[in-house]
Amino acid sequence: MRTENYVLRQRIQAVEERLAHIEAIIPEERVVILREVSKEEGEREILELFAKGQILYYSDIAEQFGLDLKLVVEICNELQSKGEIEVVGDIL
Protein backbone atom coordinates (compact mmCIF):
# COMPACT_ATOMS: atom_id res chain seq x y z
CA MET A 1 0.00 0.00 0.00
CA ARG A 2 2.82 2.42 0.86
CA THR A 3 4.50 1.71 -2.46
CA GLU A 4 1.26 2.41 -4.33
CA ASN A 5 0.82 5.70 -2.45
CA TYR A 6 4.39 6.70 -3.22
CA VAL A 7 3.94 5.90 -6.92
CA LEU A 8 0.67 7.84 -7.04
CA ARG A 9 2.28 10.87 -5.33
CA GLN A 10 5.13 10.77 -7.86
CA ARG A 11 2.68 10.63 -10.77
CA ILE A 12 0.64 13.51 -9.32
CA GLN A 13 3.80 15.56 -8.91
CA ALA A 14 4.80 14.85 -12.53
CA VAL A 15 1.33 15.90 -13.75
CA GLU A 16 1.49 19.09 -11.66
CA GLU A 17 4.89 19.94 -13.13
CA ARG A 18 3.66 19.39 -16.69
CA LEU A 19 0.58 21.48 -15.99
CA ALA A 20 2.72 24.30 -14.60
CA HIS A 21 4.84 24.19 -17.76
CA ILE A 22 1.77 24.30 -20.01
CA GLU A 23 0.30 27.20 -18.04
CA ALA A 24 3.59 29.08 -18.36
CA ILE A 25 3.65 28.86 -22.15
CA ILE A 26 -0.02 29.61 -22.80
CA PRO A 27 -0.58 33.34 -23.30
CA GLU A 28 -2.74 35.10 -20.78
CA GLU A 29 -6.32 35.65 -21.71
CA ARG A 30 -7.27 39.25 -22.22
CA VAL A 31 -10.70 40.72 -22.25
CA VAL A 32 -11.33 43.28 -24.96
CA ILE A 33 -14.39 45.45 -24.68
CA LEU A 34 -15.73 45.96 -28.18
CA ARG A 35 -17.01 49.35 -29.24
CA GLU A 36 -19.75 49.87 -31.72
CA VAL A 37 -18.46 52.14 -34.46
CA SER A 38 -19.49 52.79 -38.01
CA LYS A 39 -17.42 51.25 -40.75
CA GLU A 40 -16.33 54.74 -41.80
CA GLU A 41 -15.14 55.61 -38.30
CA GLY A 42 -13.27 52.31 -38.05
CA GLU A 43 -11.64 52.98 -41.41
CA ARG A 44 -10.54 56.46 -40.29
CA GLU A 45 -9.03 55.09 -37.07
CA ILE A 46 -7.22 52.31 -38.90
CA LEU A 47 -5.80 54.72 -41.50
CA GLU A 48 -4.56 57.02 -38.71
CA LEU A 49 -2.79 54.06 -37.15
CA PHE A 50 -1.12 53.14 -40.44
CA ALA A 51 -0.04 56.75 -40.92
CA LYS A 52 2.41 56.08 -38.07
CA GLY A 53 4.18 53.55 -40.31
CA GLN A 54 3.70 50.55 -38.06
CA ILE A 55 3.53 46.91 -39.13
CA LEU A 56 0.46 45.41 -37.52
CA TYR A 57 -1.59 42.26 -37.20
CA TYR A 58 -5.36 42.31 -37.51
CA SER A 59 -5.56 41.32 -33.85
CA ASP A 60 -3.36 44.29 -32.83
CA ILE A 61 -5.74 46.69 -34.53
CA ALA A 62 -8.84 45.03 -33.11
CA GLU A 63 -7.44 45.09 -29.60
CA GLN A 64 -6.09 48.64 -29.74
CA PHE A 65 -9.35 50.14 -30.96
CA GLY A 66 -11.79 47.71 -29.35
CA LEU A 67 -13.11 46.69 -32.76
CA ASP A 68 -14.58 43.38 -33.84
CA LEU A 69 -11.89 41.34 -35.61
CA LYS A 70 -14.22 40.56 -38.51
CA LEU A 71 -14.81 44.29 -39.05
CA VAL A 72 -11.07 45.01 -38.95
CA VAL A 73 -10.37 42.35 -41.58
CA GLU A 74 -13.21 43.65 -43.76
CA ILE A 75 -11.99 47.26 -43.53
CA CYS A 76 -8.38 46.28 -44.19
CA ASN A 77 -9.36 44.23 -47.23
CA GLU A 78 -11.26 47.24 -48.61
CA LEU A 79 -8.31 49.56 -47.88
CA GLN A 80 -6.00 47.12 -49.63
CA SER A 81 -8.25 46.96 -52.70
CA LYS A 82 -8.12 50.77 -52.82
CA GLY A 83 -4.31 50.62 -52.61
CA GLU A 84 -4.20 52.48 -49.30
CA ILE A 85 -2.51 49.72 -47.30
CA GLU A 86 -0.60 46.54 -48.09
CA VAL A 87 -1.62 43.23 -46.57
CA VAL A 88 0.90 40.38 -46.51
CA GLY A 89 -0.63 37.26 -44.98
CA ASP A 90 -2.09 38.50 -41.72
CA ILE A 91 0.54 41.25 -41.33
CA LEU A 92 -0.42 44.74 -42.38
Question: In this predicted model, what pLDDT tens digit does every residue of 12-41 receive, in sequence order?
Answer: 999 999 999 988 888 777 777 888 889 999
In the chain, what percentage of residues exceed pLDDT 70?
95
Q: Which pTM value belongs to this model?
A: 0.62
Listed in sequence order, the DSSP H helices in 1-92 are: 2-25, 39-50, 58-65, 69-81
Nearest to 69 by CA among 44, 32, 40, 41: 32
**What pLDDT score does 92 carry?**
54
| The Cα angle at residue 73 between residues 83 and 90, in degrees rounded to 5 | 80
Mean pLDDT of the chain: 87
pLDDT band at 88 (very low <50, low <70, confident <90, very high): confident
| The Cα angle at residue 91 between residues 56 and 21, in degrees rounded to 5 | 85
Q: How far apart are the first and last CA of the chain?
A: 62
